[in-house]
Amino acid sequence: MPVVQHRRTGGGLVSFFTPIDTYSQNQIKLILGLINRRRRWKKHHLCKATWAFPAVMILLLLVSACGSSQPAQSPNALPVVATTALMADFVRNVGGDLVEVTALVPPGAEVHSFQSTPADSVALSRAVLVVSNGGELDGFLGPLIQGSLSKDAVHVVAAGPLLAAGETDPHFWQNPVFTIKYIEIIRDGLIAADPENAAVYRANFDSYKDALTKLDFDIASTLNTVDPARRQLITFHDAFGHFATRYGWEVTAFVASDGGEVSPGRVVEILEQVRDQGIPAVFAEPQFRADVLQNAAQEAGVEVGTIYSDVLDSEVTSYIDMMLFNAKSLARLLR
């Protein structure tokens, strides 16, 4: 019986982009060097340029370009609701101090089985902008919005265009190129809800887009240290298909992308095959119980690492931290 329950090959939506694993380590180093030089140039020149601007622009540009200090949030900050902590992080990066973001799914909680509370309806009723992922991920929002959302509020679905292109796996952020598509939608949502500050949202977007481009190459650079024969991510739920396509990995998941139940028998069966193939580690996701996996892995002599799919917690507090943590975790245990 094959190990793989769900294996991604290329094609589909991702074929619009070059998989980054076609770059050599030297090319990646060169590109990272260029990105870093451009960021340093922008930071230096934008910070210097602010002295020529009126006082209010100085404050706004310092927030978006220099980013060294975090002024207190304005009492007039735009109330935004995002379904998950990752979505909230994207909104904070594009909205900066002009927004006050509430994530409906609490830190570390599993999104696919999330049950809303009355407090969520209250937050939604105050929101000027609502940001969801879309697809199978945060379908709980649909019934909640009915009757809670003010008629003037803007709702954007970050994965909308990607889903409309026919891709069904909703975990698009596992490929930073797709995350750039998300933040375009979020930028446009912020501008629709608060057109007066459009220039700030555009500037913040540009900075964060640069950071995501750098992230993409940093991940590729870290993953390039893994022997191609060991580029196999075996984890709990099927959330890493877009990651796999981008970086040239194979993914095996115990359960489908909506995070359903897994039988202990299935775990043991997969781990035995993992051991037979000489793969040294499998990966648990913090939001799913790992005891069955831990026990079976110990039995099979396979290590269990950590990988983040859908949540942030005290260990990884931002999307960029999460993606770098994952790349380092894979490289350390599979190298």
Tell me if 310 contacts Zn ion by CB under 5 A: yes
Q: Which is nearer to Zn ion, 73 or 113 (CB)?
A: 113
Q: Which is nearer to Zn ion, 88 or 239 (CB)?
A: 239
Residue 157 forms beta bridges with which residues?
Answer: 132
Q: Which is nearer to Zn ion, 100 or 310 (CB)?
A: 310
Q: Which stretch binds Zn ion (CB under 5 A): 1-9, 185-193, 271-279, 310-318?
A: 310-318
Amino acid, res. 12:
G
Q: Which stretch binds Zn ion (CB under 5 A): 52-60, 241-249, 291-299, 303-311?
A: 303-311
Distance CA 53, CA 244 (A): 45
Residue in the structure block whose two tokens are 């927030």:
63
Q: Which is nearer to Zn ion, 83 or 148 (CB)?
A: 83
Binding mask 224-243 for Zn ion (x = CB under 5 A): ---------------x----
Q: Which stretch binds Zn ion (CB under 5 A): 45-53, 96-104, 292-300, 309-317?
A: 309-317
CB of 153 to Zn ion, least distance (A): 26
199 to each of 54, 61, 89, 187, 302, how far by Cα in Å?
Answer: 15, 10, 20, 10, 52
DSSP sequence for 183-225: HHHHHHHHHHH-GGGHHHHHHHHHHHHHHHHHHHHHHHHHHTT
Q: Which residues contact 72 (CB under 8 A, 6 or more apart)?
A: none
**Positive or negative: CA dihedral 209, 205, 92, 121:** negative
Binding mask 254-293 for Zn ion (x = CB under 5 A): ----------------------------------------
Task: Please give the size of the binding site for Zn ion, defined by CB under 5 A.
Answer: 2
Q: Which residues contact 332 (CB under 8 A, 6 or more apart)?
A: 305
CB of 139 to Zn ion, least distance (A): 12
Q: Which is nearer to Zn ion, 173 or 205 (CB)?
A: 173
190 touches 129 (CB < 8 A): yes
Tell me if 169 contacts Zn ion by CB under 5 A: no
Q: Which is nearer to Zn ion, 137 or 333 (CB)?
A: 137
Distance CA 199, CA 186 (A): 14
262 touches 116 (CB < 8 A): no
Q: Which is nearer to Zn ion, 247 or 288 (CB)?
A: 288
Distance CA 37, CA 6 (A): 40
Q: Which stretch binds Zn ion (CB under 5 A): 34-42, 241-249, 306-314, 318-326?
A: 306-314
185 touches 221 (CB < 8 A): no
Residue in the structure block whose two tokens are 């993992």:
274
Q: Which is nearer to Zn ion, 234 or 239 (CB)?
A: 239
Give the residue from 299, 284, 312, 314 showing the smallest Cα distance to 92.
312
Q: Which is nearer to Zn ion, 207 or 257 (CB)?
A: 257
CB of 317 to Zn ion, least distance (A): 19
Q: Which stretch binds Zn ion (CB under 5 A): 113-121, 160-168, 204-212, 308-316?
A: 308-316
Tell me if 218 contacts Zn ion by CB under 5 A: no
Binding mask 101-140 for Zn ion (x = CB under 5 A): ----------------------------------------
Binding residues (CB under 5 A) for Zn ion: these are 239, 310
